[in-house]
Amino acid sequence: MKVTDKITVTQEDNMELMSRYPDNYFDLAIVDPPYGIGADKAQNAGGDKWGYKEYKDTDWDSGIPSAEYFKELFRVSKNQIVWGGNYMTDFLPPSMCWMIWNKMQRGFSLADGEMAWTSFNKAMRIYDLSRGAAIQENNKGLDKFHPTAKPISLYHWCLEKLAKEGDKILDTHLGSGSIALACHDYGFELTACELDKDYFDASIKRINNHVSQQRLF
């Protein structure tokens, strides 16, 4: 589905999507695959006690992607940013350029931050954005539908640090669609897919709403 002239999103398995593209077609893959830590279940376990909404029951975070997935990802993209890469080191070579999202929370049961492996030979970078600010950003004008949605500004930061003008971007796990909003804001061409129909439909609606809001100003 062509959502805008530069954003294409399909509802399909990511291996099917990648199989259609030649080697090194994408300049940069920015992906947020399952970490295999049961985050989809953990959000619902907190319930109203932690102020979470109730999400649909899923099993998408029961394991990490396969070796075949990473082989294809490296084939179709020249460079990669892999969120949760610290859980996938069996498939990722050593890298000096880790990206760290510092959630600026201490003394709390959840992680202080999240880590992304990258293929770049650059210095490690840290982005400071509190978890509270991230939740507020994702919920602004929306009914938050994905339990692990990342903030749009985090993807803005990734693009600012590691993307070049004219880069073709790939995302194999669209989820909440935040990366699509960031790519639209910065004028990048994005190809993405999402297997879950509910998440796909909701992310398409979110992207369209974002584009429509920008046209008003």
Considering the entire predicted model, what is its pTM? 0.87
Residue 36: what pLDDT? 79
Residue 136: what pLDDT? 77
Residue 147: what pLDDT? 73
Domains and CATH numbers, the chain: 7-215 (3.40.50.150)
What is the mean pLDDT of each successive set of 10 residues along the chain, which is 217 residues long? 96 98 98 79 47 55 86 98 96 97 79 95 95 75 70 96 98 95 97 95 93 71
Give the count of alpha carbons within 13 A of 71, CB side only: 4
Residue 52: what pLDDT? 41
Residue 43: what pLDDT? 55
Residue 116: what pLDDT? 98
Residues 6+ apart with CB under 8 A from 137: 151, 152, 153
Residue 143: what pLDDT? 56
Instruction: Say if CB 77 and CB 27 are below 8 A apart.
Output: yes
